[in-house]
Amino acid sequence: MSDDIEWRVTPGLSPYAETLAEMEARAAAIRAGEAREMIWLLEHPPLYTAGTSAVAEELLTPDRFPVFDTGRGGRYTYHGPGQRVGYVLLDLDKRGRDVRAFVGGIEAWLIATLGDFGIAARSEPGRVGIWTGAGADEAKIGAIGVRLRRWVSFHGFAINVDPDLSHFAGIVPCGLPEFAVTSMAKLGAGGDISALDMALGRHFPVLLNALESGEKQLRPSA
């Protein structure tokens, strides 16, 4: 892990509205040079969030859990206990301004992390997120939704460690009704969020290296 990036792990369940406000304030402070970049790991109580591409018809049970509009990309997603949410606040102005490398780097980071638990995860062209299995067993285990403001990133990812998967039935997750949702526990990899956090820390250089590689590709040749 990079020493100049703060890693924050918040225990318990973090209320969404207050968390969002703090995240946005931190992003502004990073842009102003008043705070370090940060990776923030936490859990939320059961709730649904609507991204900028959300379609009302994909919120199947609007009265089941609180619903929050959010400025991240994507459609509807679920957050709840047993799901590790990671908010990624990085200054892409100094890391290459390459959004594709950033999203691809998050995907590669999560794939490497899940590999530590024997899960063969992957990305899929045309589908943002992290996937496992094939054919009838194909399912989504991780969601990614990011936003940039003045080249500082916020929002991030969610990995299903051991959430109540029935809670996803209240939405069409990420607008993909044909795919199931799975978790580390369902795949036999256990439900230890602290072990996942340690693996995320070990593999974080994968994201930084992706940004560095993208920045090099953008630099003019000498």
Query: Binding site for substrate: which residues?
Result: 72-79, 143-145, 156-158
Lookup: tokens for 212: 């560095």
Whether 195 sits among the annotated catalytic residues: the reply is no
Give residues with Cβ within 8 angstroms of 96, minimum separation 6: 211, 212, 214, 215, 218
**Cβ–Cβ < 8 Å for 190, 184:** yes
Known binding site: residues? Answer: 72-79, 143-145, 156-158
Residues β-bridged to residue 222: none
Task: For residue 15, give the nearest of 39, 51, 40, 42 by alpha carbon.
Answer: 42
**Cβ–Cβ < 8 Å for 109, 207:** yes
**Cβ–Cβ < 8 Å for 200, 183:** no
CA distance 86 to 143: 10
- Exactly one of 88, 111, 128, 174 is catalytic; which is it? 174
Annotated catalytic residues are 174
